[in-house]
Amino acid sequence: MEKKGWTDVDTYITSFPKDVQQRLQAIRAIIRRVAPEAQEQISYDMPAYKLHGKPLVYFAAFKNHIGFYATPTGHKAFEEKLSPYKSGKGSVQFPLKTPLPEDLIERMVVFRKEEEDAKHKK
């Protein structure tokens, strides 16, 4: 991905074709609904959300997929559900040619929020 230097998530999302924008907005809506107190920003040139000052999740659009980054713990917890997708230690690629697994994304965000909330309470 070419570095664009976006300053906010709205500008990031609107820089993509309409069909990709819809997917990005869907992910954003899930994050905002599950973790409304999370701070939205651009980090590593992609939309990023922090909770209690710590990374919660990130996402990014690419030519053929949406990358979703829920840190290694978030991906480890959903390893079986993520098995149909290309993934790494802390990343997964949701192809643009397949439906976006919004329910899975939501469960991953809930997991990460609960994890960060528990760490914050200690």
The dihedral formed by the CA atoms of 112, 4, 6 and 41, expressed in degrees to the nearest 10: 20
**Residue 24 to residue 11: CA distance in whole angstroms:** 12
| Cβ partners under 8 Å of residue 121, min gap 6 | none
pLDDT in tens, 65-103: 999 999 888 889 999 999 999 998 889 999 999 999 999
- pLDDT (mean) for 107-122: 93
The pLDDT, as a whole number, for residue 96 is 97
Question: Is residue 2's pLDDT more than 60?
Answer: no
Domains assigned to the chain: 9-115 (3.90.1150.200)
